[in-house]
Amino acid sequence: MPNNQVVYVDGVRTPFGRAGEKGMYWRTRSDDLVVSAIIGLLERNPGIKPEAIDDVAIAATTQSGDQGLTLGRTSAILAGLPLSVPGYSIDRMCAGGMTAVTTIAGGIAFGAYDLAIAGGVEHMGHHPLGGDVDPNPRFLSEKLVSPDALNMGITAERLHDRFPELTKERADRFGMLSQQKVEAAYQAGLIQPDLIPVALRGDAGYSMATEDEGRRPETTMEGLAALKTPFRPHGKVTAGNASPLTDGATVSAIASESFARQMNLSIKMRMVSFGFAGVEPEVMGLGPIPSTQKALDKASLSIQDIGLFELNEAFSVQVLSFLDHFGIDDEDPRVNPWGGAIALGHPLAASGVRLMIQLARQFEAHPEVRYGLTAMCVGLGQGGSVIWENPHHKATK
């Protein structure tokens, strides 16, 4: 445990929208999504005094245009925080938001911070993945990585190649169940409380984004079987077993437990440990396996101690490879009980905090669970994992 116990006070997100001209955020700036989320977080946590915020860390994978200019600082100013509150931007591709949280947590554990905001944003409609980058030619000329490593869909196909037991049928079924679980959670009103509505401007005037746009609850195995495989002929990765291109923002309030109690703030989770790890870029989906093992080892825990899993569904096969490695069934009820990114979307740097938002809610409903895990794969061959403790835990006989 750190010297200063790190706690997750609260987290919120915008509804996630489909990327592109037909998506609901096409005319909305990326930084305005972050601003909406920060304002919403503070409105529902009046105990957080803006002048007490020590820093604002906002992640984005593409840091240009409306995602440039040091997002943490600009978003803080636009959200009306005092000019005394600093901010910065951060990037670890898909794990950007998760890294914002763990970086802030390090500052808290060290004693430099009492309270800070950490989150992420991605407007994949305005900033397609890889659209503004210039990879060093040495990556390819010196064969440091395969050209395939720069295409996430092909890296997912390589997992199917490496593990023949990870069949397309398993991947499709996992994708279908994700859609069904998200719809069930929506019908039960479990997801909506953490969504911050966003004002939209369209041809017909103004409206509000209040729900995630990409859900497909009507998904069937028959429909999934007929989808094209865009990354290779006769492949196994399709739009039905992969996360869609998505726009959205997430933010969280992270604090020391002593400060949270002093200010009478909620404590929804306690951070136990975290780990980041590297793997071959060509099979980047395996990243959460070593990062989770590292986090477990740091906490002197085993995978059997984890009672709830929030795993980012970049691709079905990526989650399935994780489950097979740790001996967990595809349909284990502890895994993504409200579905995941295949249905909700994966706005890259925003997704890590989305996992935390859902785990915190599930902790409230499951006092019998002591530990939970948020984990995700990361482009260029990485994984990120954070283990959390449930403050509502009550030991059962």
What lies within 8 Å, CB to CB, of 119 at 6+ separation is 11, 34, 37, 38, 57, 58, 59, 97, 100, 249, 250, 251, 252, 350, 353
Residue 224 and residue 175: Cα distance in Å, rounded?
Answer: 9
Whether 94 is catalytic is: yes
Residue 357 contacts residue 13 (beta carbons within 8 Å): yes
Query: Which stretches of 272-350 are DSSP H helices?
Result: 288-299, 316-325, 341-344
Whether 392 is catalytic is: no
Catalytic residue among 126, 127, 160, 346: 346
Two tokens, residue 59 = 């992640």
Catalytic residue among 126, 160, 377, 393: 377
Residue 1 contacts residue 346 (beta carbons within 8 Å): no
Three-state secondary structure call for residue 333: coil
Residue 40 contacts residue 102 (beta carbons within 8 Å): no
User: Which residue in this structure is represented by tokens 């890296």?
Assistant: 155
Q: What percent helix, strand, coil does the chain show, rounded to 5?
A: 40, 20, 40
What lies within 8 Å, CB to CB, of 234 at 6+ separation is none
Catalytic residue among 94, 123, 126, 127: 94
Active site residues: 94, 346, 377
